[in-house]
Amino acid sequence: MPRKSTPKPYHHGDLKNALVAAGLHILNEQGAGALNLREVARRAEVSHTAPYRHFPDKQALIAAIAEQGFEMLADEIRRSDASASAGAVEKLIAAGSTYVMFALDHPAHIKLMFSRDNVRAADSDLYRISKFGFEYMVRTIQTGQQKGELGMSDPVDGAKHLWSALHGLAMLAIERQLVMLNDLPEDQFRAGLQSEARALVRVVLAGSASPNLQKS
């Protein structure tokens, strides 16, 4: 008899990806506290030991979920680059805003992505993709300098400052540490944070271009 289209979704072919998808779902719906191997197995409808056929331990599954997160973030940055207008400043503002909005939309996921406790360093694919955002900023700054749109001295320093500022804003936002935004309704929180992100990129770019910064 021919297989129906939805009887046993995996159980054989693609359990590995199904487990990652299940983990992602749990992370988004129930948060990091609910992300455990047995729950993942339950959602994928396999026994609680089945995941061990595909991942050596819990950390390996989490690393795979983190990698998927960095790929999602890289996709969004590429999309933001494509739809932003041509100038380097505009592209950096768009990418910065995208980074912070990604964090707001996937708070548990981005915390997991940047948690050394959860994510082993060993995986080189994970390492590579985790640097995408930073390298995008370096490249965009370099291009902007060549076109005379940015007055910054060192692109790597500039990207470091931008990334620090954006990452900090994102983390403080998802931990509800930004008092001025906390009491706003969901949609205004989002709009307010986006505006903060854009302003922050402008401030860092302006500061990086400022000539009178002696070393210390």
Partner DNA sequence: ACCTGAACACCGTTCAAGT
Q: Which residues bind its own copies (CB under 8 A)?
A: 31-33, 93, 114-117, 121, 130-131, 134, 156-157, 160-161, 163-172, 174-180, 195-196, 198-200, 202-208, 210, 212-213, 215-216
The nearer residue to DNA, 4 or 8, going by C-beta atoms, is 8
Whole-angstrom CA distances from 189 to 103, 119, 134, 194 are: 13, 30, 26, 9
Residue 53 binding result from DNA, its own copies, none, given CB thresholds of 5 to 8 Å by partner type: DNA
Return the number of other C-beta atoms located less than 10 Å from residue 181's C-beta: 18
Contact residues for DNA, defined by CB under 7 A: 10-12, 15, 36-39, 46-50, 52-54, 57-59
Q: What is the CA radius of gyration of the chain?
A: 20
Q: Which residue's CB is nearer to DNA, number 36 or number 143?
A: 36
- CB 120 → its own copies: shortest distance, Å? 12
Question: In terms of CB distance, is 18 or 37 closer to its own copies?
Answer: 37
Q: How far is the CB of 130 from DNA (least distance, A)?
A: 22
Measured from the CB atom, the residue of 121 and 184 that comes closer to its own copies is 121
| Single-letter residue type at 66 | A
Minimum Å distance from CB 11 to its own copies?
33
Please provide residue 96's backbone torsions phi and psi, each rounded to the nearest 5 degrees.
-65, -45
* Nearest C-alpha neighbor of 133 from the set 110, 106, 105, 107: 110
Could you tell me where the DSSP H helices lie in the chain? 15-30, 37-44, 58-83, 88-105, 107-113, 124-130, 132-146, 155-174, 179-182, 186-209
CA 107, distance to chain mean position in Å, is 9
Looking at the Cβ atoms of 50 and 178, the one nearer to DNA is 50
11 touches, from DNA, its own copies, none (C-beta below 5 to 8 Å by class): DNA
Residue 38 contact, options its own copies, DNA, none, Cβ 5-8 Å cut-off depending on partner type: DNA
Instruction: Count other Cβ atoms within 10 Å, centred on residue 102.
Output: 22
HSE, CB side, 13 Å, CA atoms: give it for residue 145.
Answer: 17
Name which of its own copies, DNA, none residue 166 binds, using a CB cut-off of 5 to 8 Å depending on partner kind: its own copies
Report in angstroms how near the CB of residue 5 gets to its own copies at its nearest.
Answer: 39
**φ/ψ (deg, to 5) at 125:** -60, -45
